[in-house]
């Protein structure tokens, strides 16, 4: 064995050599088997592998997983098979990440506050209006009104021109005329808050008692700054007010034709005035007046017989019953 090696390097180690008849050499065992060593396998959980090698956001962490620990176990199976079985077991037993249901998503979206929509209304320009006056009346700036309507600040305004304002139409009408019609659910406090007024001023301006009940449909005057300024300069007079219609016996031979060749139509807010109202108090054809207790403005388009004094006649169109209900009243006239 030491002088000759006819078998190669893998036969260096021999367990036993036996000689027999007609045979020079017989190798019974080629090599001595290497004694098997017991292997220890380190088993690592999937969670530990993820925590070590993968960055996972907090919202998708596995809930309910217990803290894994390293353990050593003795096995005779191949390493690959052990690791594969361990992974399958982890996948079958791990808790799936929670899912957000569709209803929850819809609820979250519904709870997000929407951007409030701006409601626009129209303001009709009247005589004496300027962009600065309109802006002051509605608490806006001239730049805001000009930008909304695509006009220049220096642009002249025409009587009857409509301007867009960021308020509902009923509010614009109330601020323009100074008259507000009570709606269901309104209170003195809510009305005052809506127009930035003091409840006490609103009650005093309309002579409303503290415990009085305000009814739906009633008109109340708003003590707005421009209304108060106008009241200081306007004239006022107490007169006797009657009503007439375009029926035979109510007017002359031309029921729809008034003085100064003015044509009347049902629905128009027209009054006839006594001659002294024209000569003594300065009213003339086209003068706009406000009648206490009635909404809006009336226009002088007719005149009465010479025998009447301090008297007006309110045109009721073809509504004879309404004219009879009105009868004769003592009212204040403002112009």
Per-residue pLDDT tens for 36-46?
Answer: 666 666 777 77
User: In terms of domains, do 89 and 144 share one?
Assistant: no
Helix axis angle for 131-138 and 142-149, nearest 10°, is: 110
Residue 4 lies in a domain: no
User: In terms of domains, do 46 and 26 share one?
Assistant: yes
Higher confidence at residue 272 or residue 13? 272
18 phi and psi angles, rounded to 5 deg: -120, 135
d(CA 262, CA 317): 14
Instruction: Show the DSSP H helices in 248-330 as ranges.
Output: 275-279, 320-326
The set of residues, in sequence order, having a beta carbon less than 8 Å from that of 34 and lying 6+ positions away, is none
Residue 223 lies in a domain: yes
Percent of the chain with pLDDT over 70: 67
Please tell me the predicted confidence (pLDDT) of residue 174: 92
pTM of the model: 0.45
User: In terms of domains, do 189 and 263 share one?
Assistant: no
Please tell me the predicted confidence (pLDDT) of residue 97: 47
d(CA 118, CA 167): 8
- CATH assignment at residue 320: 2.40.40.10
* Domain, as residue range, for 243: 234-334
User: In terms of domains, do 86 and 134 share one?
Assistant: no
Please tell me the predicted confidence (pLDDT) of residue 96: 46
149 phi and psi angles, rounded to 5 deg: -105, 5
Task: Kindly report, residue by residue over 278-311, the tens digit of the pLDDT.
Answer: 988 889 999 999 898 888 889 999 998 888 899 9
User: In terms of domains, do 66 and 21 share one?
Assistant: yes
User: In terms of domains, do 125 and 86 share one?
Assistant: no
Residue 6 lies in a domain: no
Q: Which of 194, 212, 216 is nearest to 203 (CA)?
A: 212
User: In terms of domains, do 133 and 223 share one?
Assistant: yes
- Number of domain units in the chain: 3
The set of residues, in sequence order, having a beta carbon less than 8 Å from that of 218 and lying 6+ positions away, is 181, 182
User: In terms of domains, do 65 and 28 share one?
Assistant: yes
User: In terms of domains, do 261 and 310 share one?
Assistant: yes
Q: Which residue has the tokens 């009721």?
A: 316
Strands (E), the chain: 17-20, 23-27, 40-43, 71-74, 121-124, 162-165, 179-181, 219-221, 236-244, 270-273, 288-291, 298-303, 311-315, 329-334
Domain boundary among 113, 138, 157: 113
Three-class DSSP category at 137: helix
User: In terms of domains, do 66 and 18 share one?
Assistant: yes
Strand partners, 124: 162
Residue 8 lies in a domain: no
User: In terms of domains, do 184 and 265 share one?
Assistant: no
Q: Which residue has the tokens 């309109």?
A: 134
- CATH assignment at residue 200: 3.10.350.10
Q: Which residue has the tokens 């176990």?
A: 73
Q: Which helix (H) or strand (E) holds 190?
A: helix 188-194
pLDDT at 229 over 50: yes
Residue 326 lies in a domain: yes
Domain boundary among 88, 113, 138: 113
Residue 140 lies in a domain: yes
Domain boundary among 227, 257, 284: 227
Mean pLDDT, to the nearest integer, of 313-317? 92
Please tell me the predicted confidence (pLDDT) of residue 241: 95
Residue 239 lies in a domain: yes
User: In terms of domains, do 240 and 314 share one?
Assistant: yes
Please tell me the predicted confidence (pLDDT) of residue 64: 53
Residue 171 lies in a domain: yes
């Amino acid at each position: 064995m030491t002088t000759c090696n006819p078998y190669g390097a893998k036969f260096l180690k021999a367990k036993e050599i036996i000689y027999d008849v007609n045979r020079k050499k017989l190798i019974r065992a080629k090599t001595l088997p290497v004694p098997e060593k017991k292997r220890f396998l380190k088993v690592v959980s999937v969670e530990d592998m993820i925590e070590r090698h993968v960055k996972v956001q907090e919202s998708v962490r596995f809930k309910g997983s217990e803290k894994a620990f390293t353990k050593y176990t003795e096995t005779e199976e191949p390493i690959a098979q052990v690791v594969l079985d361990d992974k399958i077991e982890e996948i079958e037993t791990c808790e799936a990440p929670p899912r957000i249901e569709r209803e929850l998503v819809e609820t979250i979206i519904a709870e997000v506050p929407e951007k409030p929509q701006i409601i626009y209304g129209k303001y009709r320009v009247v005589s004496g209006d300027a962009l600065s006056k309109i802006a002051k009346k509605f608490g806006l700036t001239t730049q805001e009104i000009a930008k909304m309507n695509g006009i220049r600040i220096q642009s002249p305004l025409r009587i009857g021109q409509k301007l867009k304002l960021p308020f509902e139409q009923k509010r614009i009408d109330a601020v323009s005329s100074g008259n507000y019609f009570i709606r269901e659910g309104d209170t003195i406090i809510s009305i005052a808050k809506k127009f930035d007024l003091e409840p006490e001023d609103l009650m005093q301006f309309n002579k409303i008692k503290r415990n009085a009940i305000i009814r739906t449909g009633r008109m109340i005057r708003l003590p707005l700054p421009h209304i108060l300024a106008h009241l200081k300069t306007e004239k006022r007079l107490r007169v006797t007010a009657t009503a007439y219609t375009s029926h035979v016996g109510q007017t002359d031979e031309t029921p729809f034709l008034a003085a100064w060749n003015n044509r009347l139509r049902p629905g128009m807010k027209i009054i006839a005035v006594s001659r002294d109202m024209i000569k003594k108090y300065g009213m003339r054809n086209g003068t706009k007046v406000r009648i206490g207790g009635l909404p809006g403005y009336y226009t002088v388009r007719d005149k009465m017989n010479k025998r009447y004094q301090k008297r007006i006649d309110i045109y009721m169109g073809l509504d004879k019953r309404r004219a009879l209900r009105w009868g004769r009243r003592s009212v204040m006239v403002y112009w």
